[in-house]
Structure 1
Amino acid sequence: MPHNPTSLNIAVFASGAGSNFHSILNYFKDHCNVRVVTLVSNNSKCGAVQIAIDNGISFFHYSKYAFSGKCSNIALKLIEYLKHKDVSMIVLAGYMKLLEPEVIRNYSNRIVNVHPALLPAFGGKGMYGDIVQKAVIDSGVKISGVTVHLVNENYDEGQIIFQKHFAVEYSDTIETLSQKVKAIEHKYYPKVIEQIALGNIHKIDDRIFLKNKIE
């Protein structure tokens, strides 16, 4: 599809296998208004990088090792790169690194993350992947789910935008909960990203709501 000069450009940040990155790429592949223009990763050998290569998406290796002896502040190099790519929104999809304050300030209220539980429960530093699902099981809660939220300078403390829940059954394991989470993330995260990118949100005091119901 020809490039729409008025389209909004997204950068996806990922550190792992890249299943969410892949679902986001597929969703926006032929989108008229939103484009994924680059992948940023601190792990040059992760699955997400191979997905980017396979789909002709540019990759930025965001690691101090990539700039060893060349730059004292790699955050500024990242910001420079994102501006060069005309990025308007950052999407975290399994990104395992806290963003620097400079990046957050430059993209204030334009960075979103997906968390594999219903925040504010089971969030914070070190809470990711199977660690979250083990905590869910150990707690005995009967409901869990997925949260999409804005990103600030603290782990998982940004404003909540969207949540989707599911029942935690007595037979659930870390593996089955992870499967439930992935299914929801792959189905709903791209749709939430789309609504945010298109400005279809309400801001009421310190709360954010999507204008359109997502099915």
Structure 2
Amino acid sequence: MTSTVLNRPLKLAVLISGGGTTLTNFLAQKAAGQLDIEVPLVIASRPGCGGIAKAEAAGLNCEVIARRDFENIEDFSHAIFEQCRACEVDLVTLAGFLSLIHIPEDFLYRVMNIHPALIPSFCGHGYYGHKVHEAVVSRGVKVSGCTVHFADNEYDHGPIIAQSAVPVKGTDSPDDVAARVFEAECELYPEVLRLYAAGKIKVVERRTVIAD
């Protein structure tokens, strides 16, 4: 699989569960002329999360599709991807989206996630948000960072596209690490989106190859 070269803005669905900081970063990059995107759809996994207000303030179409309203992952996922198809998005971006989804065949390698650690460390079920940075500090590692990967049907498991490392100092609190990692995320995720839109990402047997 190789991403397709687009000679138009990349159409994104942005899936959120919290404050919408990654969505805000995408929109800021767009406003600065550094990211050629359209966001026809934002999906929130729970009502009342802070990202909904940010999406609406930006004039974006925001739908709430709550996991608790569905009996199983399959029905929940079906509802999400039906909306994505209706909006004809090129790519689904998980942006602090905490619910597991099952990805249909027509969206294989068209769903990306960013994780606030260097996969395969500090990842998988239960490792999300501040819990990741708490675990990093508790373990005493000297390097953390973020990972952008294609999502599959397991937590933090699909092919890794790019990673960015940051130092972890002995005096750091989880908040210190979180701030440093988020700064790296704000650069890495848009860069991967640019690579995708340029047709430069190829997946070969669960490994990605980035064209020059």
TM-score in terms of structure 1 length: 0.85
SS in 2 for 1:25: helix
Letter aligned with residue 79 of structure 1: F
Alignment of 1:48-87 (within 5 A): 48-63=51-66, 73-87=75-89
Q: Which residue is 1:35 aligned to? A: 38
Does residue 195 in structure 1 map to residue 195 in structure 2?
Answer: yes
Are the equivalent residues in 2 in contact too, given 1:104–1:111 (CA < 8 A)?
Answer: no
Are the equivalent residues in 2 in contact too, given 1:104–1:152 (CA < 8 A)?
Answer: no
Q: Which residue is 2:90 aligned to? A: 88
2: CA distance, partners of 1:172 / 1:158: 30
Q: Which residue is 2:24 aligned to? A: 22
Q: State the shift of 1:17 in Å.
A: 0.7
Offset from partner CA, 1:25-73 (integer Å, 9 cap, x none): 22234578531211111122111111110111101111256689xxx93
SS in 2 for 1:133: helix
Please, which runs of 5 or more residues in structure 2 have no aligned partner?
1-5
Are the equivalent residues in 1 in contact too, given 2:35–2:194 (CA < 8 A)?
Answer: no
Q: Which residue is 1:113 aligned to? A: 113
Letter aligned with residue 143 of structure 2: I
Distance 1:31 1:57, change over 3 A: farther
Offset from partner CA, 1:132-152 (integer Å, 9 cap, x none): 111111222111111001100
Are the equivalent residues in 2 in contact too, given 1:39–1:57 (CA < 8 A)?
Answer: yes
Q: Which residue is 2:136 aligned to? A: 136
Q: Which residue is 1:184 aligned to? A: 184
Deviating more after overlay: 43-52 vs 196-205: 196-205
Q: State the shift of 1:164 in Å.
A: 0.5
Q: Which residue is 2:159 aligned to? A: 159
Question: What is the percentage of aligned positions where both structures have the same residue?
Answer: 29
Which 4+ stretches in 1 moved above 2 angstroms? Answer: 4-8, 28-34, 64-68, 72-80, 103-106, 202-206, 209-212
Please, which runs of 5 or more residues in structure 1 have no aligned partner?
none
Q: State the shift of 1:190 in Å.
A: 1.4
Are the equivalent residues in 2 in contact too, given 1:162–1:209 (CA < 8 A)?
Answer: no
2: CA distance, partners of 1:35 / 1:166: 30
The structure showing larger relative contact order (alpha-carbon pairs under 8 Å, at least 6 residues apart) is: 2
Are the equivalent residues in 1 in contact too, given 2:16–2:95 (CA < 8 A)?
Answer: yes
Q: Which residue is 1:8 aligned to? A: 10
Q: State the shift of 1:8 in Å.
A: 3.1
2: CA distance, partners of 1:98 / 1:46: 17
Q: State the shift of 1:80 in Å.
A: 2.2
